[in-house]
Amino acid sequence: MQTLRGSHARLTGARQAKLNKLVRLAEEGNEVVLTRDGQAVVRLVPAVAAADVKRRRALLESIRASGRAKASAGLIAERSQDFLFGEDGLPQ
pLDDT (tens digit per residue) in 9-59? 677 888 888 999 999 888 887 889 999 999 999 999 887 765 677 888 899
Q: Which of 19, 21, 25, 27 is nearest to 48 (CA)?
A: 27
Global pTM reads 0.44
Contact 84, 92 (CB under 8 A): yes
Residue 85 lies in a domain: no
Which residues form the domain of 44?
Answer: 6-70
Residue 16 domain flag: yes
Which value, to the nearest 10 degrees, does the dihedral of the CA atoms of residues 24, 21, 44, 32 take? Answer: 110
Residues whose CB falls within 8 Å of the CB of residue 52, separated by 6 or more in sequence, listed in order? 29, 46
Residue 59 counted as domain residue? yes
Residue 90 lies in a domain: no
Tell me if 77 is assigned to some domain.
no
Instruction: Give the number of domains in the chain.
Output: 1
